[in-house]
Structure 1
Amino acid sequence: MIATRWKTPLLLGVITSPLFLAACSQTTSHSLSVASLTDAARSRPYRHTLKDKECLQRAMFFESNRSSRDGMIAVGTVVMNRLRSGKHGNTICQVVGERGQFAPGVMTRQMNSKAMPDVEEAAEAVLRGERKTKLKNTMFFHTAGLRFPYKNMHYTMVAGGNAFYEKRGRNWKPLPDEPTVAVAQSTPRGSARAAPVTLVASAAPVAKAKFAKATYVTAVASQPAKTTLEKATLVAMQEPMQEPDAARFGGTAGSQPVTSFPAAPAEPTMSFESTPENTDAIGAMIAGQSRPLEVY
């Protein structure tokens, strides 16, 4: 009897649990707090038809508390994530109309409510690219407050009466990145304005390089003076000459040679020694001349 009493409720729970674990499925037994609803991201606008917009409105209308804009944006984010995954249809209407995933009659029931303008605005915002950043990879949700024993349920957010979660199994992979709006285009423009400042500042070193070259050219002008000194030295080397022996012509005998540079006795000099053999012709020539002897 005891076994029968607890087995019956258990079987009923196993049978009814799949009804809650579709697109709108599982619980918030975790410590998640209700989302602060300022965590919106923006993706590239989706090219949609009027039918796509209506299907998105239906998902928001029947699956979320219509008084919570954040809850409706969260449901819309799940719809767009399912579309991006490629596993639940190729259009918004195919995703919302997938069997057993959203509320019964989501595609056929009438939407009569004073909150319709809010639903339309939220759907338009999602189609323009508004998303919930915490739901980047989330494709499932269920009514908040329910409990389920599955360990692969990774909860990400609670909003609009729903608890949103990811099914993380062994082969779980995050969804591919969704194209985002190119809002950062204004940044390169700001950096381009700073470029002329750098170019103007780089012109300053040019003048300094020219002054350095001019100083080097003037220093070369002192080199011609060296060539002049070398010519003067060559002329002076021809001045030393030997004088004839004075004893040969009646003067005092002197055997020492005469040089024109007595201040440099250490250097070897050339001398002329008079002998009878080598001076007869020279003496006769000099005696026959009437002009005085010139020194070169």
Structure 2
Amino acid sequence: MSVTKKRKSPGTRWLAYLVLLAGAAAFLYPFVWMISASLRNLEEIAVSGMNIWPQHWRWENYAKALTAFPFGRYLVNTLITTVLPIIGTVFSCSLVGYAFARLRVKGSGFLFLLVLSTMLLPGEVTMIPQFILFKKLGMLDSLYPLIVPAFFGSPFYIFLFRQFYSRLPVGLEEAAVIDGCGYFKIWRTIFLPLSKPALTGVGVMMFMGAWNNFMGPLIYINSDRWKTLTLGLAGFQGTYSTDTNLLMAASIVITLPCIILFFSAQKAFMEGLTFSGSKES
């Protein structure tokens, strides 16, 4: 019995396009205004209203914004607290996800549910115990509290890797076992190279979260030496609260890497979340 799809009329299709276009414009306008404000002086911003086209393009605002605070030092700290957590999360979560997906051990289902149940705990609940722990370890006012937790896994990313690995063919694992490979070697040489979509999806989400992390540095960092870009931007805003154009210029520079990364890895990111092209084993 064949099922015929009901075709939408051209008017309905154009109406859907208009609604999507209006929604995209509503979300895009604040970012466009931020770019416009970064290229104006304060007088133009005060009288521009909703106008987004600058009368005089002031590219020097970016140079002033980046020299108003130690951008280079904050950038290095941000890269450290972004790249290392990505490496730690990918290593720990993919390894644990592989174990949950492929190792048939009694009680593994209960342990997996126990790991997922930790997602129900809000960050505010574990914030104080973590602070006390790092204080006892003498790691306050350093980058360690922003890096070390990533090497102990995240329940959401463990779930993503577990779902991805459970859909890979069993024949790959059986052939490796016949060749004498152990579980760790199977994960490292077979499953990890095949999990590029999942790795990309987790990497992009981790980059977004770590790069824009503000609460963590605010809690654990006190000295100017270890501040990140988000913390530096907050201080910049407090010092130059009336210089909206410089504040917008600094915000554009800090936001730009996230935008470039998302659009460059968009296809692999969506594949990693939807697991397209994978089949149930």
By relative contact order (CA 8 Å, sep 6+), the higher-ranking structure is 2
Taking structure 2 as the reference length, the TM-score comes to 0.21
Taking structure 1 as the reference length, the TM-score comes to 0.20
Which structure has greater strand proportion? Answer: 1
Radius of gyration: which is bigger?
A: 1
Which structure has greater helix proportion? Answer: 2
